[in-house]
Amino acid sequence: MRFIITGTAGFIGFHLARRLIADGHFVAGVDGMTSYYDVTLKRARHALLGRTNAFREHIFMLEDFESLQRVAAEEEPDVIIHLAAQAGVRYSLENPRAYVDANLVGTFNVMEVARTLEVGHFLLASTSSVYGANVHMPFREVERTDHPLTLYAATKKATEDMAHSYAHLWKIPTTAFRFFTVYGPWGRPDMALFKFVKATLAGEPIDVYGQGKMQRDFTYVDDLVESIVRLVKCAPVEGQPVSEINSLSPAAPYRVVNIGGGQPVGLLDYVDAVEKCLGMPVKKRFLDMQKGDVPATFACADLLEQLVAYKPTTPIDVGVRNFVDWYRSYYQV
């Protein structure tokens, strides 16, 4: 199959592209190489993907609709997987316009290309942050997501709604997946695990928000990729729910799926795993919760499991160990 994946220089896009290439598919990767974090890391990911003829990179911002149209016409994808976005809950407080430009305008342009090409399946990344002020756990796909707590969450919820409207109007089979705290090798420098390891190796304290009482449904990146690969084959069909746990739209070939293991872990337990893997104490600086944070995330993975007979299961100690090994190797520390 032929894929266009947006965000292939990013953490998740890189892992997904590498897996699809290994499975014998062709991937055209689109990435803007923004300076939100170290571009050198992004280029290193693309360099690895570029070692095969089954990958072709295209560097431009998704707001550039003419370039996106040209690439889509050249690559003729069977499937589009839209992962590119301005990420980061906290950064949305500092630079909100970046989220409007990348997440709303960029997603609209990708949807227009999917409509024009009549792709067999359009998949897009959302986030557990859309559950916002919802306190009923575990989070289920059919629950209301009307109270986002950050602009980041609001833009991702908006992209879900935009994609639903296109699925209805143009009958584009569409799956929106909500990620739950993804971590692993080649992770982003703004993510907690990266910060914890970097600070500890430098002998510096880490910031532990929420006084360490928060919980997260951590999802190892390989588990996430396996879930997406399986979901590619499960294009929703209007009027044909495949499970009693039904998030299929009543008006479109559109479905929302959580990708998380349903195993929340305490933040301090996560820090303990870092400490054990590094073999050195982690100095902690306890702070209150930041604006936009939620005390806990907890995925209901029942729908994912029923759709693809799989859900994330990698233990925290294994996932953290793999990240630490990569970090030491990549940065030679």
Confidence bin at 325 (pLDDT 50/70/90): very high
- Which residues are catalytically annotated? 152
Kindly state the tokens that stand for 332. 């030679």
Beta bridge partners of 5: 29, 81
Structure tokens of 9? 């220089």
Residue with tokens 């690439």: 71
DSSP class of residue 139? B
Domain positions in the chain? 2-182+219-260+299-312
Give the per-residue pLDDT at 87: 84
pLDDT computed for residue 11 by the predictor: 98
For the chain, list the strands marked E by DSSP.
2-6, 26-31, 55-59, 79-82, 121-127, 174-179, 182-183, 206-208, 215-216, 219-220, 254-259, 265-266, 284-286
Q: Which residues of 87-110 are buried (b: 16+ CB within 10 A; e: fewer)?
A: bbbebbeeebebbbbbbbebbbbb
Can you give the pLDDT at residue 293? 85
Q: What is the CA radius of gyration of the chain?
A: 19
Query: In sequence order, what are the beta bridge partners of 266?
Result: 215
CA 149 – CA 7 distance, rounded (Å) = 25
**Per-residue confidence (pLDDT) for residue 88, from 0 to 100:** 78
**Predicted confidence (pLDDT) per residue in 214-239, tens digit:** 999 999 999 999 999 999 999 999 99
The CATH number given to 2-182+219-260+299-312 is 3.40.50.720
Sequential DSSP letters for 251-311: SSSEEEEEES-S--EEHHHHHHHHHHHHTSPPPEEE-PPPTT--SB--B--HHHHHHHS--
Q: What are phi and psi of 259, to 5 degrees?
A: -120, 95
pLDDT of residue 252: 98
Spatial contact of 143 and 154, defined as CB atoms under 8 Å apart: no
The pLDDT value given to residue 93:
80
Q: Whole-angstrom Cα distance, residue 84 to residue 54?
A: 20
pLDDT digits 0-9 by tens, 143-197:
999 999 999 999 999 999 999 999 999 999 999 999 999 999 999 999 999 999 9
Tell me 321's DSSP state: H
The answer, as to whether pTM is greater than 0.95, is yes
Residues 38/113, Cβ–Cβ less than 8 Å = no
pLDDT tens per residue across span 19-78: 999 999 999 999 999 988 999 999 999 999 999 999 999 999 999 999 999 999 999 999
